[in-house]
Structure 1
Amino acid sequence: MTAVLLATTCAVVYGTADFFGGLATRRSRVLAVVLLTQLTGLVFVLPLTPLLPGVITPAALAWGMAAGLAGGAGVILFYRALADGVMSVVAPTTATTSAALPVVSGLLMGERPEPLALGGVALALLAVILVSRTPGTVGKVRLRPVLQALASGIGFGAFFVLLKQVPADAGVWPLFGSRLMSVLLVVVLALATHRTLRPGKGSLPVIVAAGILDMAANVLFLLAAQRGMLVLVSVLASLYPASTLLLARYVLGERLNPVQATGVALALGAVTLIAGA
């Protein structure tokens, strides 16, 4: 039950972080937002080390850095796919892949949830697809953005899988390694493409909030993964688009389409099934 609660809270915090990140990208370039949120997370995780103490080992840092590389690449590929493709195709493709990969990995590693929990996992995967659906532009679906979306989902899913491999006594040091690697990745990309990393006017507080929330969600996921099955905690964490949609609905006044509303309802049902198993 503790792992389910941590993973569900993680999804809410991830979704809130994405909401703030979305607001920030309306005022700043994407790479600037990504870099500054990653830097904020890097600074935020250091004061947590005394509260969640751990042993710094090469293995812990290596798993964290590998996760940061996968997650950072996933973010970059996701935004490129959104820029080049149809959002109603890109978003659910990425979300479904990122949710399914840890589930398959967990099953291959020998995890065997109860039948009721597996039903919740199936319901959650369907919920992820539905809440990620957005009205798209009518037109030809090109292969390249779809492949980018698949690669992005693999990156996000690999982030969850790699963090699950972290030694239990590592504390939050793997997340420090993760953020360090993702910061380096974005800086190298920005230098290679000559993109500005300066935030837009008035966007810094929103970016900092997004960075803190994103790192808090990472901590929650790490704690959940140490206490529960990857199959369960990863699919629960992947329900984060539901909280983003609800925030957009009640803060910005955006309307949920019927498909998304159904997805939110299924997400609540999935959490109930997994928690009751």
Structure 2
Amino acid sequence: MSLCRGIISTLAFLFCQISHVPWLCTVASLTVAVILALFTAVVYGIADYSGGRASRTASSASVTLVGQSLSFAVIICLVAILGDPIASTHDLLLSAVGGIAGSLGLLAFYKAMSSGSMTVVAPITALVGTVVPVAWGLASGERPGVVAYFGMAVAVLAVALVTDAFGIHNVKTPLSIVAMAVTGGLCFAVIFIALDHTSPDAGLWPLLALRSVSVPLILVVVLSTKKPMVLRGPALKFALLSGLLDSLANGSYLFAAREGLLSVVAVISSLYPVSTLLLATKVDKEHLHKAQWVGVGCALMALVLVSAG
């Protein structure tokens, strides 16, 4: 059903570009944006799980460097193939800021994932990464529909429930891990906002600029730690997978932000802990409390409401 809806929405979007029907363009753009944002959330969640798994047996800095390097290589190839003209200085500088924030965010996030429970760290990061871009979008004058507002509130509730932010089960997480998770969320929020403010004509150049900054920064961190940089076995595989998926998710988010409102796209994209948690429960046998399962249900409800609004 979702695949059919995606195909129909995409065709409607293409048709409206040709026919120039305003209301059809608005509906189709929102629907395409939601689908792309949902895809972003799923892929981000799998990427975070992969990075977290790799960080359990290797340094988080090395895992981040390997993943980001592969992502950098993939984006270079895509930019060369597409042949888009170079973006403006404004777009490149914004993306560079996102690259700095992204490198710091991933280092903090993977460190937290390697030391704490994925079912706690991922949702905390997502909750912070959701609230900040939404607040920014609303402060910038974005005004989604009433139903979409309700869906956004349900989405924040969903992330809070899977995080156990209300302390229902008194999950004890060290303050240092919580601080790293929050730092990751703030940094990811900067990426969301920065990419949203780039020009649609910039193509994939913002992602290339982002990686051009983040990879050297992470390399400096790795060299300064004086720890082994070589990854082997499962750690290498998970690190490479996280990098590949991260580049795919960033690209999907970039196009989603260009099609829809930041306040809506950021909320849907920030539902990525759901896929991270589901993988953690199925593969690692981590236990979810009832409230967290309710949070998963709220996430699905939020998706429907935001799409309808």
Indicate whether the TM-score tops 0.5.
yes
Q: Distance in 2 between matches of 1:71 and 1:159?
A: 6
Q: Distance in 1 between matches of 2:254 and 2:180?
A: 27
Alpha-carbon offset, residue 118 of structure 1: 0.7
Match of 2:242 among 210, 215, 231: 210
1:90–1:149 CA contact under 8 A, matched in 2:
yes
| One-letter amino acid of the structure 1 residue matched with residue 74 of structure 2 | F
Q: Which residue of 1 aligns with 2:152?
A: 121
Q: Which residue of 2 aligns with 1:260?
A: 292
CA displacement, residues 84-103 of structure 1 (integer Å, 9 cap, x when unaligned): 88988765443221110000
| Larger RCO (alpha carbons 8 Å, 6+ apart) | 1
Q: Distance in 1 between matches of 2:108 and 2:246?
A: 18
Unpaired segments of 5 or more residues in structure 1?
Answer: none
Match of 1:24 among 43, 49, 54: 54
Match of 2:135 among 104, 108, 124: 104
Alpha-carbon offset, residue 257 of structure 1: 2.1
Match of 2:76 among 24, 46, 52: 46
Q: Percent identity?
A: 38
Alpha-carbon offset, residue 205 of structure 1: 2.5
Q: Which residue of 2 aligns with 1:231?
A: 263
In structure 2, the residue corresponding to 1:71 is in which secondary structure? Answer: helix
Q: Residues 40 and 154 (structure 1 numbering): CA distance in 2 closer, same or farther, change over 3 Å?
A: same
Range with greater deviation from structure 2 (84-93 or 214-223): 84-93
Q: Distance in 2 between matches of 1:119 and 1:52?
A: 41
2:55–2:110 CA contact under 8 A, matched in 1:
no
Q: Distance in 2 between matches of 1:7 and 1:54?
A: 26
Q: Residues 15 and 150 (structure 1 numbering): CA distance in 2 closer, same or farther, change over 3 Å?
A: closer
Q: Distance in 2 between matches of 1:77 and 1:149?
A: 7
Identify the structure with the greater helix proportion: 2
TM-score by length of structure 1 reads 0.89
Q: Distance in 1 between matches of 2:181 and 2:51?
A: 19
Q: Which residue of 1 aligns with 2:22?
A: none
**How do 1:1-277 and structure 2 match up within 5 A?**
1-49=31-79, 50-51=81-82, 53-80=84-111, 91-133=122-164, 138=172, 142=175, 146-277=178-309
Task: State which structure, 1 or 2, has the greater radius of gyration over its C-alpha atoms.
Answer: 2
Q: Distance in 1 between matches of 2:278 and 2:287?
A: 9
Unpaired segments of 5 or more residues in structure 2?
Answer: 1-30
Q: Distance in 1 between matches of 2:117 and 2:39?
A: 30
TM-score by length of structure 2 reads 0.80
Alpha-carbon offset, residue 57 of structure 1: 2.6
| One-letter amino acid of the structure 2 residue matched with residue 48 of structure 1 | L
Q: Distance in 2 between matches of 1:57 and 1:231?
A: 25
Alpha-carbon offset, residue 79 of structure 1: 4.4
| One-letter amino acid of the structure 2 residue matched with residue 124 of structure 1 | A
In structure 1, the residue corresponding to 2:200 is in which secondary structure? Answer: coil
Alpha-carbon offset, residue 150 of structure 1: 3.3
Q: Distance in 1 between matches of 2:119 and 2:52?
A: 17
| One-letter amino acid of the structure 1 residue matched with residue 64 of structure 2 | V
Range with greater deviation from structure 2 (186-195 or 29-38): 186-195
